[in-house]
A and B are shown apart, each in its own frame.
Chain A
Amino acid sequence: MVTVKDLAKMEDLLLKGNAACAGCPIGVALRTTLKALGKKTIMFVPACCTSVVQGIGPGAAISVPLFNTAFETAASVASGAAAAAEILGKDVTILAWAGDGGTYDIGLQAISGAAERGDNVLYICYNNQMYSNTGIQRSGATPLGAWTTTTWTGKTEHMKDMGMILIAHRVPYVAATSVGYPDDIYEKVKKAKEKKGFRYIDILAPCPPGWRFPSDMTIRLGKLAIETGFWLLYEYEDGELRFNGYTKLVAEGKREFKPVEEFLRLQDRFRHLFEPKRRDDILEEIQRWIKERFEWYLSLAKI
């Protein structure tokens, strides 16, 4: 397992002085991802916050080659690039790097196609559970009850489970992680890098302006999401589903998930569930769904 000291020494390929918000999880997720992948990486980035974080041309805040592409095409453009890389005999990682909007919704078709064909693409979704770049609208990844600018009284559906969709495609590697654990991100990206075929990693990325929390809580919320079971740390590899970190401890019965309220209370996107009056109906539904989802994952993990 990589250590913090190892990570601290690695070169940064995401450059400082960029256009990201203060406390933006991209600063942890992408920085760590590129440390694991190194310079021989070519990025394909659809419309998302990362498109803007690069800043205004003719300069950009990144020092690997990067192709900005149309919203729904991260996986399809990357598929073509992967074919070209093979023809050229180039030893390079083709990285599709997208937000949840471009992954769960508009980009889903291209991902499914690339996954079914087994195109040699590493697809990483940094997931802040909404259309952040366009101003915090709801996406398929938005959880139940969350405020967004298109769900003012809270989303009425649960989040889509993209990891399961990719597992159903039986790709070589599917993983879920969180910016709360940079070392976990590093290990999973590194592992995915060495594999061939379509690999998918979903990084939970708490977003200060979107989730409405003070900018210093990004990592803390990344951890709390895991500790409450709101998000899971897992890997699906060679047909086997395994948990990591705190999620693993809960699966082994050594710990319990903290009540999800501890996580929800810290974000104003859930404030309307507590003020002016407690919405126990929604809070109980969220807690119930967390329990039910984890039980489902546990049953698959035993197979």
Chain B
Amino acid sequence: MSEDAIKYLPLSKPKIGISGKTGSWRIFAPEINYEKCVKCHICVVVCPEASISLEDDRPKIDYDYCKGCGVCARECPVGAITMRRER
């Protein structure tokens, strides 16, 4: 018999990237044209992957996890984000 204690419980801990580097799922990748960008931050709020963060008040895409859904490009009010085919 094993030692006198419980060993395995059905518990998990919080983890970023639980499904790996989901950036590998992409076919299209978003590209931000910072000259057009008006720093409205809509893309940060609507990104379904929480993969756009703010750096110096400007949006920065985390390409490790961005799944290329295109919502940011669609919702950008000034068309500063375009989707470029990656593969």
Contact = CB atoms under 8 A, between A and B. Distances in A.
Interface of A: 4-5, 7-9, 12, 14-28, 31-32, 54-63, 182, 208, 214-220
A217 to B, nearest CB: 7
A23 B41 contact: no
Contacts of A20: 48-49
Contact of B64 (A17, A62, A220): A17
B13 A218 contact: no
Contact of A17 (B26, B45, B65, B71): B65
Nearest to A216: B70
Given A26-B48, A58-B11, A220-B74, A16 B69 contact: no
Chain B: number of interface residues, binned into ranges: 35 or more
B49 A57 contact: no
B46 A23 contact: no
B18 A55 contact: yes
Given A22-B67, A60-B12, 17 more contacts: A7-B41, A14-B50, A15-B15, A15-B16, A16-B50, A22-B68, A27-B49, A27-B50, A28-B48, A32-B45, A54-B18, A56-B19, A59-B14, A59-B15, A60-B14, A214-B70, A220-B74
B46 A182 contact: yes
Closest 7 CB pairs of A and B: A27-B48, A216-B70, A55-B18, A59-B15, A17-B17, A23-B69, A8-B41
B50 A15 contact: yes
B54 A58 contact: no
27 contacts: A4-B40, A8-B41, A8-B45, A15-B14, A15-B16, A16-B22, A16-B50, A16-B51, A16-B65, A17-B16, A17-B17, A17-B19, A17-B20, A17-B65, A22-B49, A25-B48, A31-B48, A55-B18, A56-B18, A58-B13, A59-B18, A60-B15, A63-B14, A182-B46, A216-B74, A216-B83, A219-B46
B31 interface: no
B84 interface: no
B32 to A, nearest CB: 14
What does DSSP make chain A's interface, helix, strand, loop or mixed? mixed
B44 A8 contact: yes
Contacts of A8: 41, 44-45, 54
Contacts of A14: 50
Contacts of B44: 4, 7-8
Interface in B59-76: 62, 64-65, 67-71, 73-75
Nearest to B43: A8
B42 interface: yes
B18 A7 contact: no
Contacts of A220: 74-75
Contacts of A217: 74
Nearest to B83: A216
A64 B2 CA distance: 33
